Amino acid sequence: MSLGSVPLKYKISIDRDQCMKCMRCVDNCSYGVYRIEDDKILIDSRKCTACHRCISMCPRDAINLQEKPVDYRSHPLWTAEAREDVINQARSGKIILAGMGNARDYPVIFDRLVLDACQVTNPSIDPLREPMELRTYIGKKPAKLEFTKNNGDIDLTTKLAPNLKLDTPIMIGHMSYGAISLNAQLSLAKAVAKTGTFMGTGEGGMHEAIYPYQDHTIVQIASGRFGVDIDYLERGAAIEIKVGQGAKPGIGGHLPGEKVCADVSCTRMIPLGSDAISPAPHHDIYSIEDLAQLVRSLKEATNWEKPVFVKIAAVHNVAAIAAGIARSDADAVVVDGFKGGTGAAPKVFRDNVGIPIEAAIAAVDEKLNDQGIRNEVSLIASGGIRNSADITKSIALGADAVYIGTASLIALGCRVCGNCYRGLCPWGIATQKPELVNRIDPEIGAEHVANLIKAWTLEISELMGAAGLNSIESLRGNRERLRGYMLDQGLLDVLKIESVGA
């Protein structure tokens, strides 16, 4: 017996009085919502993903989108989502895939943290009149410095490890060529070069179009080792070993063969049209000692000239794992929270596995401080960072810098419809179809992303100035500048902050 159809998620309608039949909606919708028959635009709302491409391109604002025009009978346990998942899996017998970050209605801890500001007895600083220092150095720091006297001069004898110098504590996280288009990746590369920061290549090698910006890229090695050779390692300003990802801790990755075009195939060094499947573990890492050996191998291969980062997903024992990484030769620990984005992940993982980045930052910072090694390694936070306030709070909790991902894609046009894994992104971001990829002009895209980074950097300066701080170093781990609002005592204890009013 047929399971029948499920209620529409979205209903598209056109104001026929406003519509001028310019056909932009038909031309721009890559999901086939619109078609022409007998000089009339017909609509198939079931194909709509709420990507908003048609709405944004309509010159007359004639298109309207209604969410859940017909819903299921309300029920506190059997939500519409729960029922649809059962129906879909009863039909397919497959794992449900989803894109972007965790879509569950968990409380956002960032929204329940408030920042401090100076009043009367402790003066604030005006960033328009006084210099503010936001430069950030990412890499290994020596436990102590040693000097020698030389004919009246003092020379530093401690050998310093190579560090990345950032003009802002904002970097762009790893999104591979294949998962996103070349024009999207090129836009991000141009933007980080403009703003004095860095971006990650993701696990997909480095396309030659990115070579001019390689001094602003961090190359990634994941369990699939796609696109990895000595040339790739030497091109990056730093190397990152990806052990885990916040959106799907404990499992590997999967790039569908449909997205592996000729260019992606060459860059990743895999056959054309084949699925790129990354295994869950690295098959040479089963302990912290194995990981330390890989870190040293990468440093040896690059003559100890490149910082090596290790990225892990935020899970329950993240602090202990981070401490082990910090005691290896790794230069930075990257922690990715469970609201981090992804091109494709099993929905059950995306929505149920891992812990929030706020708790993970605080736990890792506390553990490293307890062991007396916090100053020797950098901590980079990622996963669900939406604005400058989230960044400022992350640094106050203990991070040195952050990766942003989804926000940078929104600056390129993404509307977070969550269908990245289908390869039909109408904004030209998560697709390899040439006609869609060409919708992004890398020059304009770079300008938008650079504007976002500059705007957030200015806002961080303002927030620091209001708190009486003129250096990002003074903000780092300064939890006295944070208070919890409507958080229970257990979470306040984890975050090591006090409640508002205290």
Cα 346 off chain centre by: 18
19-67: pLDDT as tens digits: 999 999 999 999 999 999 999 999 999 999 999 999 999 999 999 999 9
58 known member of a binding site: yes
Q: What is the dihedral of CA 276, 277, 278, 283, to 10 degrees?
A: -120
414 known member of a binding site: no
261 known member of a binding site: no
Q: Residue 254: is its pLDDT beyond 80? A: no
Across residues 134-157, what is the average pLDDT? 90
State residue 204 phi and psi, 5-degree precision: -155, 20
- Separation CA 317–CA 360 (nearest Å): 9
Q: Residue 355: is its pLDDT beyond 90? A: yes
Residue 471: strand pairing partners: 133
Question: 3-class DSSP state for residue 307?
Answer: coil
Residue type, position 483, single letter:
R
Which residues are CB-contacts of 411 (< 8 A; sequence separation ≥ 6)? 445, 448, 449, 451, 452
29 known member of a binding site: yes
292-344: pLDDT as tens digits: 999 999 999 999 999 999 999 999 999 999 999 999 999 999 999 999 988 88
Residue 125: pLDDT band (50, 70, 90) is very high
How much is the mean pLDDT over the chain?
A: 94
Residue 199: strand pairing partners: 172, 217
Distances (CA, A) of 461 to 196, 384, 457, 458, 468: 16, 21, 6, 5, 10
- Separation CA 343–CA 97 (nearest Å): 10
State residue 335 phi and psi, 5-degree precision: -115, 125
- Separation CA 259–CA 344 (nearest Å): 12
- Separation CA 129–CA 114 (nearest Å): 25
Angle at 353 between CA 351 and CA 358, to 5 degrees: 90
Q: Is the whole-model pTM more than 0.75? A: yes
256-300: pLDDT as tens digits: 787 788 888 888 888 888 888 888 888 889 999 999 999 999 999
54 known member of a binding site: yes
22 known member of a binding site: yes
Q: How many helices (H) and strands (E) does the chain have?
A: 16, 23
Closest to 63 (Cα-Cα) out of 74, 73, 52? 52
Residue 386: pLDDT band (50, 70, 90) is very high
Residue 1: pLDDT band (50, 70, 90) is low
State residue 489 phi and psi, 5-degree precision: -65, -35
Closest to 331 (Cα-Cα) out of 275, 380, 272, 281? 380
Contact 171, 197 (CB under 8 A): yes
155-213: pLDDT as tens digits: 888 989 999 999 999 999 999 998 999 999 999 999 999 999 999 999 888 999 999 99
Cα 299 off chain centre by: 25
19 known member of a binding site: yes
Whose tokens are 């191998």? That residue is 297
Half-sphere exposure of 184 (CA within 13 A, CB side): 33
Contact 192, 171 (CB under 8 A): yes
- Separation CA 360–CA 107 (nearest Å): 15
Whose tokens are 């980079």? That residue is 380
Between 223 and 137, where is the model more confident?
Answer: 137
Residue 421: pLDDT band (50, 70, 90) is confident
